[in-house]
Amino acid sequence: MGGGVLRWLGVAILCSLGLPLFAQRPMPAPVEPLTPPSPLATLTEPLVPPSDKPKEEKKPDDKPKEEKPKDDKKPDDKPKEEKPKEEKKVELPKEKKWYEKIGFRGYTQVRSNETIWQEMGSAEATLVGDRAAGPNQNFSIRRARIILSGDVSENLFVYLQPDFSITPPGSGDATFFVQLRDWYGDVYLTTDKIHRLRVGLSKVPFGWENMQSSSNRLAFDRTDAINSPVSRNERDFGVFYYWTPERHQQLFKRLIDDGLKGSGNYGIFGLGVYNGQGGAFLEQNDNMHVVARFTYPFELPSGQIFEASMQGYTGKFSVQSAPIRPLGVGPSTRPLNTIETGGREGLIDERIGWTAVWYPQPFGLQAEWNIGRGPALNDQQTAVVVRRLDGGYIQAMYKIDTSRNGTFIPFVQWAHYNGGYRSERNAPFVNINEWHFGCEWQINKSLEFTMQYTHTDRTNTNPIDRAGERSYRQFVGGLLRFQLQMNY
């Protein structure tokens, strides 16, 4: 009895509290703190207004209502995806600034050259391709290159390459000067890049190994016979036309990407005019050199790639001089027909050469030879005259790919040159016979280590101005050479 009274008394209290609260809907929050604790909580359920119950009961009913609009919105979302927003994203690359299209790469070559033996009475060790090979030398940085390149538009490709390890002539004991190696633009005459003009400071298209990057070459230095007509630096200021069909564009690229030591894309046919003095020297006469080259790489049914080339150039070269004592006797003098002795107009300089390359797949052969005539010091060492020349090289190699230890390419090379060295002061007439034995170890894409032994009988091209001492004697000896190349 008492329990029933209390129950109904609770109902009456809740009703008296609940009715005014429901009437004041803007303030629902106070209802919860005034709700009595269980067991009377169950008594409030019948007193909840019916308008609130549907809100709780409609929660499960709202789910399908939420899904329906999702389904209804799907067709509405498709046109949103097709709206111009995505089209703008596709057009964004076209709006890139020219400097955002430039790629950045480079490499560094650290070397050590040791003369391990020298014939009694021979001249000091010297290599035109590496001034750090000789007495009183240890470690050196042969090349420190940074390359910026890229297509800045559909019609223009730019290529910029400075070298940070130059020792210019006359610098004494100073080194690591910065000097331009390449600074040119390829102007595409057609959108398929078949026809282009290369304008600026770039390599002269003569000699396959001259066009091959030093980062890809197996032997430490380019051979004297092929490099002497375009040294120093294989480059010059000029304008060159290159014709490269599309299928050969892909083949030239593949020869590099597959690690086959390609020379790069210098066209199937090339024709150009250039100053002729060399990229690191000022022009000295009004004469222009003309060069032409034809090469044809092709793939055999077996997959083996072979390339054959023919090239030639002609012009006049002005020779710089240095004081010497002819044949080591008499007073100090400069040879005649040089810039300093009134020979600024220059002397005939022309060559023709041939190239054959059997790419290392895995066995490879590489050979070049050239003949011609050009400036050279006479036998009396009193004047620079036009003399005949010839020389070249042949190289064999074998590419060994391993799964864990990188790639090994052992090689052997024989090189010969008999003629004038026009880029050296006084254009000394040289006789060079060399054997190179070495192996390149491509540890990974970033590191390469090469070891090479050189047995040489070559003319020392350094002028000597001392009484009783003759310039341009032969150096006969052996050098052990090491190089670590870092690619980035």
Are residues 31 and 111 part of one domain?
no
Average pLDDT of the residues in 358-383: 98
In a domain, 59, yes or no: no
Are residues 155 and 18 part of one domain?
no
In a domain, 95, yes or no: yes
The domain total for the chain is: 2
The letter for the amino acid at 423 is: S
Q: Looking at 229-233, 238-242, 418-422, which range is the least confident one?
A: 229-233
Q: What is the CATH number of the domain that holds 150?
A: 2.40.160.10
Dihedral over Cα of 190, 106, 131, 263: its sign? negative
Range of the domain at 144: 91-487
pLDDT, residue 217, reads 97
Are residues 40 and 98 part of one domain?
no
pLDDT, residue 456, reads 97
**First-to-last C-alpha distance (Å) of the chain:** 96
Q: Which of 418, 302, 427 is nearest to 376 (CA)?
A: 427
CA distance 430 to 422: 10
pLDDT over 80 at 13, yes or no: no
In a domain, 341, yes or no: yes
Neighbour-count burial for 402-422, b at 16+ CB within 10 Å, e otherwise:
eeeebbebebbbebbbbbbbb
Contact 373, 387 (CB under 8 A): yes
**Residue 86, helix vs strand vs coil:** helix
Q: Looking at 73-82, 87-96, 118-127, 275-284, which range is the least confident one?
A: 73-82
In a domain, 66, yes or no: no
Are residues 191 and 43 part of one domain?
no
In a domain, 71, yes or no: no
Neighbour-count burial for 203-237, b at 16+ CB within 10 Å, e otherwise:
bbbbbbbbbbebbbebbbbbbbbbbbbbbbbbbbb
CA distance 29 to 352: 101
Are residues 95 and 48 part of one domain?
no
pLDDT, residue 17, reads 41
pLDDT over 80 at 36, yes or no: no
pLDDT, residue 231, reads 79
Neighbours of 385 (CB within 10 A): 17
Q: Which of 133, 140, 141, 142 is nearest to 114 (CA)?
A: 133
Average pLDDT of the residues in 319-333: 96
Average pLDDT of the residues in 152-157: 94
Are residues 133 and 31 part of one domain?
no
In a domain, 84, yes or no: no
Are residues 294 and 204 part of one domain?
yes
In a domain, 477, yes or no: yes
Average pLDDT of the residues in 382-388: 98
Q: Of 4-8, 40-44, 232-236, 363-367, which one has max mean pLDDT?
A: 363-367
**Residue 324, helix vs strand vs coil:** strand
Q: Looking at 75-84, 226-235, 248-257, which range is the least confident one?
A: 75-84
Are residues 164 and 29 part of one domain?
no
In a domain, 63, yes or no: no
Are residues 456 and 324 part of one domain?
yes
Taking only the tens place, the pLDDT of each residue in 402-423 is 999 999 999 999 999 999 999 9
Label residue 100 by pLDDT band (50, 70, 90).
confident
Are residues 136 and 15 part of one domain?
no
Are residues 13 and 98 part of one domain?
no
Taking only the tens place, the pLDDT of each residue in 174-209 is 788 999 999 999 999 999 999 999 999 999 999 999
DSSP 202: E
CA distance 338 to 326: 15
Label residue 83 by pLDDT band (50, 70, 90).
low
Are residues 97 and 47 part of one domain?
no
Label residue 232 by pLDDT band (50, 70, 90).
confident
Average pLDDT of the residues in 474-483: 98
